[in-house]
Amino acid sequence: MADNEPMVYIVDQQPFDYSPAAHYGTLYFMRPARLAPYAPNDRNEWNSNVVKQLRGELRDYVPGRDYVIPTGAPTKMLLVGMLLAQLGPSHKLLGWDARAQKYHCYELEI
């Protein structure tokens, strides 16, 4: 990947065809990570490890250049949004338009 080529971060892969998003950049599927309200051991340790994993997944994310497709569990999408906010104020989200059969880009300043 070239240094300036955008990445498209897919938060939680679902059984969809994400290939139309490749128009925006290289697709990157984040690894599965589930927050736990109850865990066999210590849920705070479990959830802390999920946060660490997601931070690692976003280590190469460049605000304003790269894109995010928020999919999957709402708690995971919220957590990724919180982590993105720590990385900078400008973000690009992609949302699927079923009628038009394409992604729309939402550029946001927070």
Q: Give residue 106's pLDDT.
A: 97
Question: In which band, very low, low, confident or very high, does the pLDDT at 2 lie, cut at 50, 70 and 90?
Answer: low
Q: Give residue 41's pLDDT.
A: 65
State yes or no: pLDDT of 31 exceeds 60: yes
What's the average model confidence in pLDDT over 71-95? 95
Question: In which band, very low, low, confident or very high, does the pLDDT at 34 lie, cut at 50, 70 and 90?
Answer: confident
The strands making up 67-69's β-sheet, listed across from edge to edge, are 26-29, 7-10, 67-69, 90-97, 102-109
pTM to 2 decimals? 0.89
Domain boundaries, the chain: 7-109
Q: Give residue 44's pLDDT.
A: 76
